[in-house]
Copies of this chain bind each other. A is one copy, B any other.
Amino acid sequence: MRDVVVLGAGLHRFGRFPEKSLQAMGREAIKNALDDAGVPFKDIEVAYVGRVLAGMGAGLNVVSELGQTGIPVVNIEMACGSSTSAFREAYLMVANGVYDTALVVGFEKMQRGMLQIAEQKSYGTVMGLSVMPASYALQAQRYMADHGATPEMFAQVSVKSHRNGALNPYAQYQTEVTIEEVLASRTIAAPITLLQCSPTTDGAAAVVICAKEKAGKYAARRSMTVAGWATGSGKYVPKSHDEGDAEVNTGEVTRLARIAYERAGIGPEDVDVTQVHDAFSPGEIFTIEGLGLVGEGEGARAVWEGRTEINGDIPVNTDGGLLSRGHPIGATGAAMVTEIFRQLTGEAGPRQVKDGNAKVGLIQNAGIGGVNVLVFKR
């Protein structure tokens, strides 16, 4: 396989844009990514698009805004993990020489209100079980009992997230919150309060990738290399030692992170900056454990002690994450890649970790259907 580099990335601001079309939002993100990469649209040979709620053919509807060059536009869906799936597919195609230059796009306009994971009239809905944060809450309750964590530690994830979001001009929420405000917000599923839930968001993100051996002609100012990847769904563990659902399944994360680390030739100790799937506050705590960034049961304390802050030793969700940057489900993964790109190229401005010397970035993005792990190196 050839080395593949990310040449550029771009976002449409995350937030609520009821008056704006998907085409307009996607167009802006793609244009920003192309300009950032210095790659003209006519050089793009394929587009992989993560989107969930948009209708049939949405990928082409958006990508063809930039021009009608006849390229394949492949729509990929894995719920909240759609655009890291799209990224991985594009990466593997370029790495294997099917295409030289590819565009990865993610976009979504969400319905207002809490994300519904099950259909109306389904058993889970009628029984009140399909409450999105419930699976996180169930694990959080058990985690508190097992590891002596407190509701404050989960709330702290959101405090840190909003602090980072306030430094990100593309974030949905750019205002800090206090731990008292997080804890005092309405309880959704104990211990998770409203301010520990990712909002409904509209947004778009795009990334340009290229075979490293072909990237010279773009005179790219800078790039990062795709160093490792892993993807999979929930694996049955005999004797029903159920680890929970895929959305927060640290068992899956651990299994897949090992594969990604091995492919990248690194270990968790080499990671300088991480983006994880914090659809709800426990997500950050469980996932940094699953990724091996901290030991089992140490996640909550790591957050509480500030280790996942921008200036901490294991900075996580430096752009505000799903909780503050926002979570337009099809766009989230591509936005994670965008932030890692900014961090590894030293262009993250006030959010920059490790004085601009970050060398390894890690992404974990999950959705109904599986978990994606990606590793990047400067």
- Which residues does A use to contact B, with CB under 8 Å? 1, 52, 55-57, 59-60, 64, 67-79, 85, 89, 92-93, 96-98, 117, 119, 231-236, 252, 255, 367-370
Contact = CB atoms under 8 A, between A and B. Distances in A.
Q: List the number of copies, as a whole number.
A: 2
A119 B252 CA distance: 38
Nearest to A78: B75
Contacts of A57: 78-79, 367-369
B119 A68 contact: no
A366 to B, nearest CB: 11
Given A57-B78, A60-B370, A368-B57, A72 B117 contact: no
A71 B370 CA distance: 9
Contacts of A235: 68-70
A93 B95 CA distance: 11
Given A75-B369, A79-B57, A119-B55, A64 B96 contact: no
Contacts of A119: 55
Contacts of A234: 64, 68, 70
B71 A232 contact: yes
A367 B117 CA distance: 27
A59 to B, nearest CB: 6
A232 B89 contact: no
Contacts of A367: 56-57
Contacts of A79: 56-57
